[in-house]
Amino acid sequence: MFGFTSISALRHAAIKWAKYYVYFTKAAFFLLGLVFGHGLVKNAVVDSLMIYIGEENWGLAKSAAAVNTQEAIVAILTIVNAHVADAWVGRFKIVVYTTASYIAGLVLLYFFQKTKLLLVSLLLVASGFAGREPTFRAFFADQFTGQDESQLEARSSFWWYVVKFVGAAISVFLITQKSWRSTFKISAIVMGAAYLWFLFGARMRLYNCHGPTTSPVTTLYKVFKAAIRKRCHDFPDTPDGYYMNQGREIPHSPCHPILRWMDKAAIQTNEAEVEGNYLCRAAEVKNAKRLLTMLPLWMTFLIYGMVQAAGSTFFIEQSNGMDVYINDNFDFPITAFFILESLTRDLTSYLVNFLISKICRVEGKQPAQLVKINAGMFFSILCCIAAWQVEVHRFKVVKEHNLLNSEEDDDYKIPMTIFSLVPQFLLLGVMTGLAEDGLSEFYCNHVDESMKQFDEPFNGLLIGVGKVFTVFFILIRSTSWFGDTINHSRLDKYFRWLMILSCCNLYFCVLVSYAYVRLQSQQHDENIQNQSLEPP
């Protein structure tokens, strides 16, 4: 009886879980091909660009600079795509245009690998990849209908991650073992077939397409434009903490005093301002100021972006010449580390959120989110230490076996296994799962509801700026630390320098986090005091 009851309970639990997560609509079914294609191409092409460009004899410094520049362009185009989708054309058209750009870039890579069109191909691929998140993912989530928002988010996230992972896994074991020409050909065919399947669903009018609404970029631009236009005007003579808007007294938002000048955007000085769209609502000013108060925390992610840039470039380059063979029939692909990092990131994010919700009971609170961010910064230090020590040992082995001039022979081998890189990729995944997940939660908890959908573009932009810093540093030190090949470079010095910067960044992050907690405590005390002064 106990066994039957247990089986019945498990069956009911499985049915309940399936109804909650596994259900998807007909419209979502026609989008799963694109989700699969994005997962496959990201792992086979986008994440592997450092390997491909390195094989084109660009040199270590130029290859890393090219990859980091492309990732920075992706960060910029992500904001552009999200803004254009929400402000003008809608998400559906952006998915159509960016996917077409993706396919065109892959086709050009297949036909023109050795020409100047390579740069054009990489730009088209970057444009297509920038449409994946948040635009395509938000459009995918729009196809799940219902009343429970948490259930809809769970279903869309389940299918998004599962199908994307399947695409990435297939790319590792079936595609990346082939030549680059074959990889580009298969990737273009998969994305092309998925694109036709997606357009077939559009032909059947299955998709739930939302029109353009509003964009946080528009709000921010409008407030800045109005505030700068009225920068010479004085605040009206009203009670402290208030300003006039169309004859009504409205309290200014409780942000840092340095942003007080932005309140002038909501002060009406003449009737012509209403017609010229130079007068902002109080809510718009408040939302813009709250967004800008994210800047101190965003600044801590500049150095973090440099560590992440090392993961997508120099970590991969460290595998050159290492022993990759598991047996005589199969060699371990470096692209498998991308899946390892992704799984570690998602697992870390899930476990930490579970522990916070079950043990600390403070899920969704700023202190918990800031702790996650600081923990991520701490793991960035450990990641740099692991990469530094591996490179010190690798360089020592290279010198001991007189392999410094062996790059002329394509078959040169370093007596060192590729699995030496596992710790740094694991730490990179933990770092990303803690820091970026904490930043996303803090952003969504900090800004207004109308700006929450832009957490990926805004947060990704600051990380992209950190990657641009990496490009500048590489160009400055290209003659001393970065040679034509990894064996003629001193990546150990670069990783050590990056570790020192990460230590300083952690200290700065702790100070910024303390300032946020203190500001939140002051605002909480002010709210309690104001409530006590209100008449009964």
Q: DSSP string of 326-362? A: SSSS-B--TTHHHHHHHHHHHHHHHHHHHHIIIII--
- pLDDT score, position 467: 92
Contacts with 505 (C-beta within 8 Å, 6 or more apart), sequence order: 300, 302, 303, 304, 377, 380
Position with higher pLDDT, 271 vs 102: 102
pLDDT digits (tens, 9 = 90+) for 58-75: 888 888 999 999 999 999
Nearest to 335 by CA among 62, 46, 8, 14: 46
Say yes or no to pLDDT of 118 above 60. yes
Say yes or no to pLDDT of 45 above 60. yes
Residue type, 90: G
- pLDDT score, position 238: 52
Say yes or no to pLDDT of 403 above 90. no
Cβ atoms 309, 68 nearer than 8 A? yes
- pLDDT score, position 272: 55
Give, for 279, the enclosing helix (H) or strand (E).
Answer: none
pLDDT digits (tens, 9 = 90+) for 421-430: 999 999 999 9
Question: Mapping DSSP to helix (H, G, I), strand (E, B) and coil, where does residue 249 land?
Answer: strand
Compute CA distances 331 → 56, 187, 232, 325, whole Å: 22, 22, 68, 4
Q: Per DSSP, what are the bridge partners of residue 164? A: none
Q: Per DSSP, what are the bridge partners of residue 331? A: 325
Position with higher pLDDT, 209 vs 261: 209
Say yes or no to pLDDT of 241 above 60. no
- pLDDT score, position 173: 82
| Average pLDDT of the residues in 36-51 | 92
What is the band of 345 on the pLDDT scale with cuts at 50, 70, 90? very high
Q: DSSP string of 483-494? A: -SSGGGS-HHHH
- pLDDT score, position 147: 63
Contacts with 387 (C-beta within 8 Å, 6 or more apart), sequence order: 310, 314, 315, 318, 424, 491, 495
Say yes or no to pLDDT of 177 above 60. yes
Round to whole Å and give the CA distance between 198 and 251: 49
- Unique residue bearing structure tokens 């970057």: 126
| Average pLDDT of the residues in 195-214 | 91
**Averaged pLDDT score across all residues of the chain:** 84
Say yes or no to pLDDT of 389 above 70. yes
Nearest to 487 by CA among 377, 386, 413: 413
Residue 399 backbone dihedrals phi, psi, to 5 degrees: -70, -40
Cβ atoms 99, 191 nearer than 8 A? yes
Lowest mean pLDDT among 61-75, 150-164, 397-411, 498-512: 397-411
Round to whole Å and give the CA distance between 191 and 132: 13
Round to whole Å and give the CA distance between 450 and 78: 18
Question: Which own/partner pairs from 161-165 qualify as long-range (CB within 8 Å, at least 24 positions apart)?
Answer: 161/346, 163/32, 163/35, 163/36, 163/39, 164/35, 164/36, 164/38, 164/39, 164/42, 165/39, 165/339, 165/342
Which of the residue ranges 164-173, 231-240, 326-335, 380-389 has the most confident prediction, judged by mean pLDDT? 380-389
Q: Per DSSP, what are the bridge partners of residue 251? A: 242
- Unique residue bearing structure tokens 């570790």: 499
Residues 255, 259, 265: CA angle, nearest 5 degrees: 110
pLDDT digits (tens, 9 = 90+) for 470-503: 998 888 887 788 888 888 889 999 999 999 999 9
Cis ω for the linkage preceding 134 (within 30 of 0): yes
- pLDDT score, position 2: 42
- What does the block give as tokens for 292? 């800008």
Residue 268 has, within 13 A of its CA and on its CB side, a CA count of 19
Round to whole Å and give the CA distance between 445 and 290: 11
What is the band of 135 on the pLDDT scale with cuts at 50, 70, 90? very high
Bridge-based pairing of strands 248-251 and 242-245 is antiparallel
Q: What percent of the chain has pLDDT over 70?
A: 82
Nearest to 301 by CA among 498, 470, 442, 462: 462
Round to whole Å and give the CA distance between 227 and 244: 14
- What does the block give as tokens for 124? 């088209």
Question: Mapping DSSP to helix (H, G, I), strand (E, B) and coil, where does residue 250 land?
Answer: strand
Round to whole Å and give the CA distance between 108 and 125: 10
| Average pLDDT of the residues in 231-237 | 69
Give the length of the chain.
536
